[in-house]
Amino acid sequence: MALVIGVDAGGTATRAVVVETADEVVLGSADGPAGNALSVPPDQLVARLTACLAECVRQAGIQPADIEAVVAGLAGFRAAPKAAETVRAAAAAAGLTCPVRVYSDVEVAFAGGSTEPDGVVLIAGTGASAARIRAFATVATADGAGWLLGDDGSGFWIARRALHAVLASFDGRGPRTELAPVLCAELETEQVTSQVVAAAMTQPPPRLARLAPLVLQVADAGDEVAAGIVESAVQHLARTARALEPDPDQPLVLAGGLIGAEGPLRSRVAAALSPSGRPAVAAVDPHQGAAVGAARLAALALAENKF
């Protein structure tokens, strides 16, 4: 038996868990703000990770010296050259002296939904991306290009498309939609083009992405414009997964707030992928799944002496 910490640091939030490896029992957990290595300044990221690491150890009722390994999955890890140093600095600041490894957020998400080492993971939350995984490491990716250039079908993508439809309904470029009163109320603005633009432009992408559940609610209530946006998001996400040509004999893990366990689009994305006969396996838990996946990778590295 060993005690390890798994961390999932994404574009919206960070979670750290202390796990007892024999039965994957979570002994303590802690949450924090976004941990994207590309968008959060290094000193701020160190502070956020340090706080999460220290708090999950405290919640577990143990000492830092009891932890034998840490694995952290960070959004933006592959493109941020000093991300691993940042995680190690945070671990040291939290009093941890054990080995530390850093993965991407997609790799720990895959491990959170599969004990098999090979397959494909599709993630949709604030952003959206897919990765082919071999031996729990990324060998190919699709999308994940960020809110400006990609993340098709993501929460931010849905929110942006919905706001575009609202603006189009105001000036006659598009049909009337119930998205207008619902989103304007959420943004605390009048149904006026200039006010909606001003309100939206002051919001960071993760906050705008929180409009996505409202778009889904309006779609479920029968609004055709909202329903079209949601259906387009589903098809975009399915296309992203199919781009990596998943092997029908390997797991295809669905993760993230939109399509992970309990995610509002999980069943629809799974259905969009089902004609190919490929399996879809949701992440173990919508809140702790990826962090537990990171802990699973820590346990595996300990067992194989790979630190």
φ, ψ dihedrals at 79, nearest 5°: -100, -5
pLDDT at 188 over 90: yes
pLDDT at 54 over 60: yes
Looking at the domain assignment, is residue 48 inside a domain?
yes
Looking at the domain assignment, is residue 25 inside a domain?
yes
Counting residues of the chain whose pLDDT is more than 70, the rounded percentage is 95
- Record the pTM: 0.86
Indicate the pLDDT class of residue 283, thresholds 50, 70 and 90. low
Give the closest residue to 157 by CA, choosing from 79, 221, 235: 235
pLDDT in tens, 72-91: 999 888 777 888 999 999 99
Give the closest residue to 122 by CA, choosing from 268, 300, 16, 13: 268
Rounded mean pLDDT, 296-302: 93
List the alpha helices (DSSP H) in the chain.
42-60, 83-93, 105-113, 146-149, 155-171, 179-187, 193-201, 205-209, 212-220, 224-242, 266-273, 289-303
Looking at the domain assignment, is residue 296 inside a domain?
yes
- Identify the pLDDT of residue 293: 94
User: Are 263 and 257 in contact, with CB atoms under 8 Å apart?
Assistant: yes
The whole-chain average pLDDT of the chain stands at 92
Tokens of 161: 């498309």
Looking at the domain assignment, is residue 65 inside a domain?
yes
Instruction: Give the whole-angstrom CA distance, residue 263 versus residue 277.
Output: 21
Rounded mean pLDDT, 62-72: 96
Counting residues of the chain whose pLDDT is more than 90, the rounded percentage is 74
User: Are 50 and 94 in contact, with CB atoms under 8 Å apart?
Assistant: yes
User: Are 72 and 37 in contact, with CB atoms under 8 Å apart?
Assistant: no
Report the 10 Å Cβ neighbour count for 65: 11
What amino acid occupies position 123? I
Instruction: Give the whole-angstrom CA distance, residue 260 versus residue 178.
Output: 27
List the alpha helices (DSSP H) in 172-211.
179-187, 193-201, 205-209
**Number of domains observed in the structure of the chain:** 1
Domain extent, residue 107, equals: 3-117+285-303
3-state secondary structure of 243: coil
Phi-psi region for residue 146, left (φ > 0), alpha (ψ -120 to 50) or beta?
left
Q: Residue 50 is part of a domain; what is its CATH number?
A: 3.30.420.40
